[in-house]
């Protein structure tokens, strides 16, 4: 894709997904726009083996935008980085098409692997603010990673992950539309478990009350029979 096509594509993506943008001129000031143009250039140079020059371009963009993308990362079409300050994308990261990252997201390694050591994101994946995905594993298509989550293992497609460490909450395998960028209304497995425990506790309390009432009735009936027998 040529430079002009890259520019038009980035403008389209940002205007589609950020309601705060009112004109194409505003897009030019957007950190995601600037860093993605720098990344595309640095990645082409990196693939030719000019590693120092590619890193120089990427680090210059990181200082200006607060978004650090290693030029070795492989990024598909339609990546949207909202605000983006503090976003880090590691060298062997692979990102599919139409993904969305929010500020403070880290796609990093654990420091233990050799070779492929960063995550692979499928298509239509949304990673909410402050989430960390660490290690060489796959995040399935149409998945959402909740804000502040720490993901350390593979995530199936069409899933939502929340918590530290991240826990997968199935969404009935319903495909997640890219327009669904809601970071807050996500399932909370801890709250669901507490609600389940409270429900069970209420059931047990009612059963105990019934048993106590039955024992009291049995005692009273036995006492009356004993009295009548005398």
Do 193 and 179 fall into the same domain? no
Among 74, 68, 77, which residue's Cα sits nearest to residue 103?
68
Assess whether 75 and 24 both reside in one domain: yes
- 206 and 123 housed in the same domain: no
Q: Residue 176: its pLDDT value, please?
A: 45
Q: What's the pLDDT at 175?
A: 44
What is the distance, to the nearest Å, from the Cα of residue 7 to the centroid of all Cα atoms in its chain?
Answer: 27
The full DSSP string for 84-143 is -TT-EE-TT-EE-TT-EE-TT-EEE--S--SSS-S-EE-TT-EE-TT-EEESS-EEPTT-
pLDDT value at residue 127: 93
66 and 176, same domain (yes or no) = yes
Identify whether residues 91 and 133 lie together within a single domain: yes
Instruction: Judge residue 199's burial from the number of C-beta atoms within 10 Å of its C-beta, 0-12 exposed, 13-18 middle, 19 or more buried.
Output: exposed
**Does 199 lie in the same domain as 174?**
no
Residue 159 and residue 46 share a domain: yes
Cα–Cα distance, 135 to 122 (Å, whole number): 15
**Among 67, 84, 79, residue whose Cα is nearest residue 9:** 79
Q: Domain range holding 194?
A: 188-230
pTM above 0.75, yes or no: no
- The answer on 137 and 64 residing in a single domain is yes
pLDDT of 182 reads 54
Question: Average pLDDT per run of 10 along the chain, which is 230 residues long?
Answer: 72 74 78 87 93 94 92 90 88 92 91 83 92 92 90 89 78 49 56 76 86 80 58
Same domain flag for 133 and 216 = no
């Amino acid at each position: 894709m040529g430079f002009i096509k890259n520019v038009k594509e980035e403008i389209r993506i940002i205007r589609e997904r950020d309601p705060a943008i009112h004109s194409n001129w505003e897009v030019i000031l957007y950190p995601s726009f600037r860093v993605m143009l720098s990344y595309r250039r640095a990645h082409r140079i990196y693939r030719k083996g000019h590693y120092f020059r590619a890193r120089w371009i990427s680090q210059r963009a990181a200082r200006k935008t607060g978004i650090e993308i290693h030029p070795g990362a492989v990024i598909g079409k339609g990546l949207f980085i909202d605000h983006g300050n503090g976003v880090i994308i590691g060298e062997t990261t692979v990102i599919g098409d139409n993904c969305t990252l929010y500020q403070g997201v880290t796609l990093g390694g654990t420091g233990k692997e050799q070779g492929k050591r960063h995550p692979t994101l499928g298509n239509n994946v949304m990673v909410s603010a402050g989430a960390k995905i660490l290690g060489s594993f796959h995040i399935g298509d149409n998945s959402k990673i909740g804000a502040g989550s720490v993901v350390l293992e593979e995530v199936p497609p069409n899933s939502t992950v929340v918590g530290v460490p991240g826990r997968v909450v199935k969404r009935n395998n319903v495909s997640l539309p890219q327009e669904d960028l809601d970071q807050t209304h996500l399932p909370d497995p801890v709250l669901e478990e507490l609600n389940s425990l409270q429900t069970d506790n209420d059931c047990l309390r009612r059963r105990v009350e019934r048993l106590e009432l039955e024992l009291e009735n049995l005692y009273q009936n036995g006492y009356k029979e004993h009295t009548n027998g005398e």
